[in-house]
Structures are given as C-alpha cells and as structure tokens.
Amino acid sequence: MSDLRLDATQLDRYSRHVIMDEIGPDGQKRLLEGSVLVVGAGGLGSPAIQYLAAAGVGRLGIVDDDVVERSNLQRQIVHGDADVGRSKVESAADYVAALNPDVDVDTYETRLTPDTVGELVEEYDVVLDASDNFPTRYLLNDHCVLTGTALSHGAIYRFEGQVTTFTNDRNEDAGDEAADPPCYRCLFPEAPEPGTVPDCATTGVLGVLPGTVGCIQATEVVKYLLEKGESLEGRLLMYDAMDMSFETVDVLANPACPVCGDEPEIESIEDASYEGSCSLTAD
C-alpha cells in the first residue's frame, strides 16, 4: 500500500466505506489507486461509470465512438437531454467530473479494434465490458486472456440480463488440482450469425434492466480491486426482471477452447478474425 493519505474531504466523502471493516482507509486507498477501462458508455456502461466514480475508483477510461441520441436517455443515465448530439465519452466524463473530483477520466472516442485494444487495456487494472456486439466481446476476451487481465462481462436483452467475471488468473505453478478459470469463449464458443440476434433498437429493452446489470458489474470490479469477497468467476448470473428472479449456473473451462484451452489456436490477436462470426483466421 502506498503512502496515500485520505484528506478530510475524502474521509467525509467515503466515510461509509472507511467505517467498514472489510474496506477501511486502506481499502479506500486501494480504490483511489485503482483503474478501470469501461468499454461502452451506454446502458450498461452508464450505471457502472456512475457507481465506480462514486466509490472513488481513481482512474476511469471510457471507450465509445457513438453520440448521445434521445432514445438513449430512457436507460443511459449519465447522459441528459442537453447532451443529445454530443460524444458519449465527453458527456460521461462531464458527469463524473461533477460527481467526484477525485476521479481522473481518460476518454477514447474510438471503436475498439485489434490495433487499439492492446494500448488501451494495458493502462488499466481491470476491464468492464459494457459493449453491445459480439466482435468487441470476443476481442476483449482474447486480449484479456492473453495478457492475464481481469474482465467483467455483462449483457442484456429485453427483460433479461447476465453477468460473469473472468479473472484470467492462470497460475501455471498451482499444480494439476487447481482448475483453470473459464473465459468468454468457454461460455460462448461461437457468436451467432450476423443478424440473428436483434438489438435494442429492434426489440426494445426495459429501461431499468441495464441499471441492475451494470451495477452488478461495478460491484464485481470494486470487489476485485479490494481483493475481497467471492467473484462470479466460474458462474453466470442470470436475471429475469419479469419474474424478479436470479439464477446462477456453473461455467467450466473448456479444454478445447481456442484461446485458453490445452492446445490454444489463438496465441495472439492476429490469429482470429473479429468481424462477423468472430472466428479463427482461415489458413
């Protein structure tokens, strides 16, 4: 732990953290020194950004190449009516600045690509995937597996959401008894064909749904930075807002996984295609 000291204002701001045995001043210092890359400043990214900033995570990177549309405002709560037409990353950064001056925000008004993913991810402790498309999810997964970077995954559809965490902590010295953790490709080996999964613009989405899912993602990231509690690694949490039910299912590592399996076919980002079905590069 560094010699960072909480000043009087910070002790007041984070007092409800500081008085908790599980966090305390040292835990709050850990959050202030932590960094999170949030990919997507939309429905999932908005509540995640909001609560990570409020918790005092000291550095947030926000990646999004889109602008705010009025139809976003039903669920993307870091943007307001006056932000329509603005860059989402600029709007989100202004929201964070007004909420918590302790937080530094780096904005990346760009689409995540194989050429940019490395230089962006390497700057941060953990990645929160709030994207809305399969190519980005597979690209983030593969890079995070290859670099050992923790990744929080969330997704939504109409009234349903899912969350899991991939720590990508593969200890080669742990012995045969220690099971390797799964990755996104273990959970979803192949993306559906383009056009077969409708998006929010086509099917709609309950406005409060991404708030629940994004907050769970933020919770997982905060616990990871604090090194406290049990994560969702190896479990997929599924939420049905219509039934108000939560269910978890086990997610096991796939020995045949092309990126984290016993004989991986993806040993660098160049080994896979991240367009369309996110498949391996054809020989």
Boundaries of every domain in the chain: 9-271
Q: 128: Cβ–Cβ under 8 A, 6 or more apart, which residues? A: 36, 37, 38, 39, 45, 48, 52, 151, 152, 154, 217, 218, 221
Closest CA to 31 of 216, 163, 219, 170: 219
Tens-place pLDDT, residues 165-185: 999 987 655 445 557 899 999
Across 20-33, average pLDDT: 98
Query: How far is residue 159 from each of residues 64, 164, 237, 240, 248, measured CA to CA in Å?
Result: 24, 18, 14, 6, 17
Alpha-carbon gap, residue 18 to 38, rounded angstroms = 25
Token duo for residue 134: 């399969």
Q: How sure is the predictor about 272, in pLDDT bands with cuts at 50, 70 and 90? A: confident
Fold of domain 9-271: Rossmann fold (3.40.50)
Pairing of strands 245-250, 126-129: unpaired
Tens-place pLDDT, residues 86-120: 999 999 999 999 999 999 999 999 999 999 999 99
Tens-place pLDDT, residues 59-88: 999 999 999 999 999 999 999 999 999 999
Q: How sure is the predictor about 280, in pLDDT bands with cuts at 50, 70 and 90? A: very low
Token duo for residue 219: 């919770």
pLDDT of residue 203: 82
Q: Is the pLDDT of residue 140 over 60?
A: yes
User: What share of the chain has pLDDT > 90, as a percent?
Assistant: 84
Across 17-37, average pLDDT: 98
What DSSP element (H or E) covers 39? strand 35-39
Cβ atoms 184, 138 nearer than 8 A:
yes
Q: Is the pLDDT of residue 198 over 70?
A: no
How many CB atoms lie under 10 A from the CB of residue 194?
12
197 versus 28: the higher-pLDDT residue is: 28
Average pLDDT of the chain?
92
Tens-place pLDDT, residues 200-229: 667 889 999 999 999 999 999 999 999 999
3-state secondary structure (DSSP) of residue 89 = helix
Closest CA to 46 of 33, 60, 32, 29: 60
Cβ-defined contacts of 157-161 (< 8 Å, 24+): 157/203, 157/205, 158/203, 158/204, 158/205, 158/206, 158/209, 159/206, 159/209, 159/240, 159/241, 159/242, 160/209, 160/238, 160/239, 160/240, 160/241, 161/209, 161/210, 161/212, 161/213, 161/238, 161/239, 161/241
pLDDT of residue 191: 82
User: What share of the chain has pLDDT > 70, as a percent?
Assistant: 90
**So which residues are the catalytic ones?**
200
Alpha-carbon gap, residue 276 to 138, rounded angstroms = 11
* pTM for this predicted structure: 0.93
Sheet-wide strand order for 150-157: 104-108, 59-63, 35-39, 126-129, 150-157, 160-166, 235-240, 245-250
